[in-house]
Chains A and B, each alone.
Chain A
Amino acid sequence: MITATAETPPVVRHRAANVVVVAGRWLLGAVFIYMGLNKALHPVEFLKLVRQYNVTDHYLLLNLVASALPWFEIFCGLLLVLGIAVRGTALLLVAMLVPFTIVIVQRALGIQHARGIPFCAIKFDCGCGAGEVLICRKLLENTLLIAVAASLVFWRQHIAAVRPCLFRAHAA
């Protein structure tokens, strides 16, 4: 087992960090593939859940979100697992996760206002692909996912990757 101490050589520390980043990348990719598949296999149920957010009334937009988002998540998950365009994919995930989390919080606040129950006692199916979850647990999960995705954006050297970046400019 490798432990990073003051005496640990920088090369070993860097290698250990690389292993952690790869594990995080695979975990994030697997989560997105799993969540995406759950939704892609039940698109009607996902469509109903998306509609409950009242973000849009326009059926074309609603259908576009419900039909494309699950497969888009699978696409991003596959790229991360394979290690293709890692930083760009991670940036996309951050750009998706942050607004999703805000929308989930808004919906939870609406439920709290309507039912008058403690915030962390609110449980609903947010359409995230894992069924009904407690809101505080969901927020913790999303925060963790955002942190992992953000760290992938800033990590420059990705190992065990088919093609870590599309352009050479950010490979170095």
Chain B
Amino acid sequence: MRTLKAVVLEAIILAIAGLLFALAANALSPRGLRLARNYFPAAPVMHTNTAASAHAPDSLAERLQQWGLQLATSNEVSQLFRDPGYEQGLIVFVDARNDHAYQSGHVPGAWQLDRYRPEGYLPTVLPMCLSAQKVVVYCNGGACEDSELAAVMLRDAGIPAGNILVYSGGISEWTNGLPFEIGARGSGQIIEPKR
């Protein structure tokens, strides 16, 4: 019995020491998470006219509407990409994925904004978005939420919500029929889609 108590006590001491070690390691790690940052802000509660009750929006379109943002279809982003305004910086594409994903393939000329580590990206991306008339934000597509939340981050940083479009098809849809760039932005390594 005495032995068991000692083992339990040992486990409790280790749990405390381990937690302190873990928090210190996370704080020192360049990839560590920020404990106080809300990485997944919830969409505002939706108030409907037909019912007195309020509910959290379920679909992406509903959530974007609550944020004051708009959804963009594949055709719309394709047209924006071919628009002369894209070359002039009046239309900006923002890739909301991490370095590895971005380097593997992004919309040619898209700016990267890793929303989990915005400090390194916002100072470059924000001026581009502020001077643009349309900002298209995308991530992987499918269930990926990063484009939606990066768009919210841009809106909160001062980009007019009406200028921001979220491309839900993401890079997986884009690479099915449109050219993409690998490596760094402006690397010139453009991959044409297979026909």
Contacts and interface: CB of A to CB of B under 8 A. Distances in A.
A85 interface: yes
Interface in A34-65: 40-44, 47, 51, 57, 59-60, 62-64
Given A44-B98, A59-B38, A63-B35, A71 B10 contact: no
A74 B39 CA distance: 24
Please classify the interface of chain A as helix (H, G, I), strand (E, B), loop, or mixed, using the class held by over half of its residues: helix
Contacts, number: 107
Interface stretch (A100-108, A114-122, A124-132, A161-169): A161-169
Q: Which residue among A68, A74, A76 has the maximum number of chain B CB atoms within 10 Å of its CB?
A: A68
- Chain B contact residues (Cβ within 8 angstroms of A): what range? 35 or more
Contact of A85 (B14, B23, B25, B38): B14
Contacts of B17: 75
B187 to A, nearest CB: 24
Contacts of A153: 7
Contacts of B42: 57
Contacts of B23: 67-68, 71
A169 B6 contact: yes
B7 A43 contact: no
B10 A88 contact: yes
B7 A67 contact: no
B10 A87 contact: yes
Nearest to B7: A87
Contacts of B32: 43, 67
Q: Which residue among A89, A92, A165, A170 has the maximum number of chain B CB atoms within 10 Å of its CB?
A: A170
B7 A88 contact: yes
A152 B40 CA distance: 40
Contact of A92 (B11, B34, B36, B38): B11
B26 interface: yes
B29 interface: yes
A59 to B, nearest CB: 4
Given A47-B39, A59-B39, A69-B22, A89 B31 contact: no
B7 A91 contact: yes
Q: Which 7 A-B residue pairs are closest in the complex by CB-CB distance?
A: A88-B10, A71-B22, A68-B22, A169-B6, A67-B26, A71-B25, A170-B3
Interface of B: 2-11, 13-15, 17-19, 21-23, 25-26, 29, 31-40, 42, 98, 116
Interface of A: 40-44, 47, 51, 57, 59-60, 62-64, 66-72, 74-76, 79, 85, 87-89, 91-92, 95, 153, 156, 165-167, 169-170
